[in-house]
Amino acid sequence: MQDTTALKEKLYDKFWLDEYNKLDWLSQCVDVKPDITETSQLAKKIQSPIDNTIQQKTFDFIDNHSNKKGAFFLWLIIVLILYTIRQDPPSGEKLTGYIAVLILLSIWAISLLNKKPAKQQITISDRELIFENTRYTWGKILGTYILKRKSGSSKTILYYLVLILKDERIVYHKLNNFLSYKTDITIDLSAYIEFYKNSKRENIP
Per-residue model confidence as pLDDT tens for the chain (205 residues): 468 899 999 999 999 999 998 887 777 777 778 899 999 999 998 888 888 788 889 887 755 556 667 778 888 888 888 888 888 888 888 888 888 888 898 888 887 677 665 677 899 999 999 998 899 999 999 999 999 988 766 677 889 999 999 999 999 998 887 765 445 688 989 999 999 998 865 545 5
| Same-domain status, 48 and 133 | yes
The range of the structural domain enclosing residue 100 comes to 66-114
151 within some domain: yes
- Same-domain status, 124 and 35: yes
Kindly state whether residue 76 falls inside one of the protein's structural domains.
yes
Quick one: 128 and 188 in the same domain?
yes
Number of domains in the chain: 2
Give DSSP secondary structure letters for the chain: ---HHHHHHHHHHHHHHHHHHTS-HHHHHTT---EEEEHHHHHTT-SS---TTSSEEEEEEEE-SHHHHHHHHHHHHHHHHHHHHHHS---HHHHHHHHHHHHHHHHHHHHHHHSPPEEEEEEEESSEEEETTEEEEGGGEEEEEEEEEE-TTSSPEEEEEEEEETTS-EEEEE-GGGGGTSTTHHHHHHHHHHHHHHT--TT--
pLDDT score at 58:
87
Q: 205 in a domain, yes or no?
A: no
The pLDDT of residue 86: 85
